[in-house]
Chains A and B, each alone.
Chain A
Amino acid sequence: MTMSALSRPGERDRLVVKFTQIDWTFAIALCLLAGTGALMMFSVAGSSWEPWAGAHLFRFGFCFVLMIALALFDVRVWFALAYPIYGIGLLLLLAVEFVGDTRMGATRWLDLGFMSFQPSEVMKVGIVLALARFYHGISAEDARLSWWLIIPALMIAAPVLLVAHQPDLGTAMLIALTGAAVVVLAGLSWKVIGAAVISFVAAVPIMVMFVLHEYQRKRVMTFLDPESDPSGSGYHILQSKIALGSGGFFGKGYGLGSQSQLNFLPEKHTDFIFATLAEEFGFLGCALVLALFAAVIFMALRTASLAHSHFGRLAAAGVTATFTLYVLINGAMVMGLAPVVGVPMPLLSYGGTVMLTVMIGWGLVQSVRVHRYTEVTSGKGAFV
Chain B
Amino acid sequence: MSEPSIFFSEVNERQGAFHRRSFLLGGFAGVGLLALGGRLAHLQILEAQRYQKLSASNQFNFRLVPPPRGLIVDRNGAVLATNRPNFRLLVVKDGEHEPGETLKTLAHFVPLDEARQERLMREFERTPNRTPVSVMEDMTWEQFSAINVRAPEMPNVTADMGEVRVYPHGGAFAHVIGYVAKVNREDLTETGPNSEPILLHPGFRIGRQGVEKAFDLDLRGRTGAKKVEVDARGREIRNDTDGDIPAAPGKTVELTLDVDIQNRALEVMGDESGAIVVMDCRSGDLLCMVSAPSFDANRFVRGLSTAEYRALADYERRPLLDKAMSGTYPPGSTFKMTTALAALAAGINPEERIHCSGGWRFGGRTWRCWRHGGHGAQNMHDAIKNSCDVYFYQVALRMGPDHIARAAKALGFGQAFDIGIPGQRTGVVGSTEWKRTQVKRDPTWHPGDSVSYGIGQGYITANGLQLAVMTARLANGRKQLNPRLIKSVGGVEMPPGDEVPNLPFSQEHLDYVRSGMIAVANDRSGTAFRQSQLGLGDVLMAGKTGTAQVRSYDGVANRDSRSVRWGLKDHNLYVAFAPIDQPRYAISVIIQHGGLGGATAAAPRAREVMRVALLKDPEIRARIIQPMPLPDVTDLPPVGVAPEGAVVAPPPLAPGEPT
Which positions in A face B, CB cutoff 8 Å? Answer: 2-4, 7, 139-141, 143-144, 181, 184-187, 239, 241-249, 258-259, 262-264, 278, 282-283, 286-287, 290, 293-294, 297-298, 301, 304-305, 308, 310, 313-314, 317, 320-321, 324, 327-328, 331-332, 335, 337, 373
Contacts and interface: CB of A to CB of B under 8 A. Distances in A.
Contacts of B398: none
B330 to A, nearest CB: 65
Interface residues of B, number: 47
8 contacts: A2-B2, A140-B17, A141-B13, A186-B21, A245-B50, A308-B10, A310-B14, A328-B32
A336 to B, nearest CB: 8
B39 A335 contact: yes
B18 A185 contact: yes
B3 A310 contact: no
B232 A335 contact: no
A243, A246, A290, A305: residue with the most chain B Cβ atoms closer than 10 Å: A246
B48 A245 contact: yes
A244 B44 CA distance: 6
A140 B13 contact: yes
B280 interface: no
A239 B59 CA distance: 12
Contacts of B21: 184-187
A186 B18 CA distance: 6
A262 B51 contact: no
Given A181-B25, A244-B44, A297-B29, A287 B37 contact: yes
Contacts of A139: 13-14
Given A246-B51, A249-B45, 12 more contacts: A7-B3, A139-B14, A184-B21, A185-B18, A186-B17, A245-B51, A247-B48, A282-B44, A286-B37, A286-B44, A308-B6, A320-B29
Given A143-B14, A242-B54, A259-B58, A3 B2 contact: yes
B59 A258 contact: yes
Contacts of B58: 239, 242, 258-259, 262, 264
A286 B38 CA distance: 11
B118 interface: no
B45 A293 contact: no
A335 B55 contact: no
B154 interface: no
Nearest to B28: A324
B43 interface: yes
B555 to A, nearest CB: 78
B227 to A, nearest CB: 14
Interface in B570-596: none
B240 interface: no
Given A140-B17, A187-B21, A313-B18, A332 B36 contact: yes
B191 interface: no
A314 B18 contact: yes
B123 interface: no
Contact of B51 (A242, A286, A310, A321): A242
B437 interface: no
B33 A317 contact: no
B621 interface: no
Contact of B25 (A185, A283, A287, A293): A185
Nearest to A248: B48
Nearest to B40: A286
B29 to A, nearest CB: 5
Contacts of A327: 32-33
A310 B37 contact: no
A262 B21 CA distance: 46
